[in-house]
């Protein structure tokens, strides 16, 4: 049972480039989330999804887009990467809105 | 606005001693609280949670205490081991609201030999 899997684990982009981070969960969870984690700060919610075909904005959504075409996958896109988006990105899922989140192992993204 | 904060950014304890990590929250409507452990280079790992209808909950070597009067949460780790060295986050939410889980900035726990 893999839980929550994120790909890639590391990525370096140049300013203005685009990329997509993939998150997959095999627990049949309805809820999925994308967080970013910066040094000395807690996790900040970018976007989340309450079910297949749905997305919603979190605390820091600007510069990111997401899609949830399949229940098990949640994609995070950066259309035009900026140095301020250098961070560690974590995907998470939960069975319901009020239950604990399960996290992936993270993606280290550097934007030069 | 709402905030979740930790009293101390770092905590060092001797191996075998008990550890206490504190967390304050400001939203009086918060009614669900979670502690996560994050080891270097890994994603956060669930430790224990508690709902506001309880003031104490115990797990394996861990206890969470909730004081709603002063909006304070603590995580106690008994007989701290080297493997407990990590960053610990508290998080909270109000289950009746649309707001998702809000995380604190974390406490770095270092276990000294």
pLDDT at B6 exceeding the cut of 70: no
Helix (H) or strand (E) holding A89: strand A87-94
> Per-residue confidence at B5, pLDDT binned at 50, 70, 90?
low
Instruction: Calculate how close chain A gets to B45, using CA atoms only, in Å.
Output: 7
Residue A107: name the closest of B42, B40, B21 by CA: B42
Please report, in angstroms and rounded to a whole number, the separation of the first and last CA atoms in chain A.
36
Rounded distance between C-alpha atoms, residue A12 and residue A90, angstroms: 16
- Chain B residues whose beta carbon lies within 8 Å of the beta carbon of residue A93: none
Residue A101 contacts B, CB cutoff 8 Å: yes
Q: What is the mean pLDDT of chain B?
A: 90
> pLDDT tens across A21-69, in order?
999 999 999 999 999 999 877 899 999 999 999 999 999 999 999 999 9
What's the average model confidence in pLDDT over B38-51?
94
Helix (H) or strand (E) holding A107: strand A107-111
Whether A106 sits inside 8 A of B4 (CB atoms) is: no
pLDDT for B3? 44
Q: Which of residues 3-62 of A touch B (CB under 8 A)?
A: 4, 33, 35, 40-45, 48, 58
pLDDT for B1? 31
Query: Mutate which of B31, B38, B43 to test chain A, going by most A C-beta atoms within 10 A?
Result: B43
pLDDT for B7? 46
Residue with tokens 């002063």: B70
Number of neighbours of residue B87 by Cβ within 10 angstroms: 21
- DSSP-assigned beta bridge partners for residue A106: none
More confident site: A78 or A97: A78
């Amino acid at each position: 049972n893999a839980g929550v899997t994120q790909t890639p684990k590391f990525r370096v982009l140049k300013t203005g480039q685009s990329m997509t981070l993939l998150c997959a969960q095999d627990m049949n969870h309805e809820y999925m989330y994308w967080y970013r984690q910066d040094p000395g700060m807690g996790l900040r919610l970018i976007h989340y999804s309450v079910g297949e075909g749905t997305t919603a904005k979190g605390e820091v959504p600007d510069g990111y887009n997401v899609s949830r075409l399949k229940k098990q996958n949640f994609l995070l896109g950066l259309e035009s990467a900026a140095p301020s988006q250098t961070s560690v990105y974590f995907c998470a899922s939960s069975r319901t809105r009020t239950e604990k989140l399960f996290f992936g192992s993270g993606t280290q993204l550097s934007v030069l | 606005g709402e905030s979740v904060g930790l009293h101390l950014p770092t905590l060092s304890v001797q191996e075998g001693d008990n550890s206490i990590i504190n967390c304050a929250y400001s939203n009086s409507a918060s009614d669900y609280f979670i502690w996560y452990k994050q080891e270097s280079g890994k994603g956060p790992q669930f430790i224990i949670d508690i709902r506001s209808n309880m003031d104490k909950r115990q797990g394996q070597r861990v206890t969470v205490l909730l004081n709603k009067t002063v909006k304070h949460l603590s995580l106690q780790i008994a007989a701290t081991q080297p493997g407990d060295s990590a960053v610990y986050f508290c998080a909270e939410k109000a289950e009746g609201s649309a707001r998702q889980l809000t995380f604190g900035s974390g406490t770095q726990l270092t276990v000294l030999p």
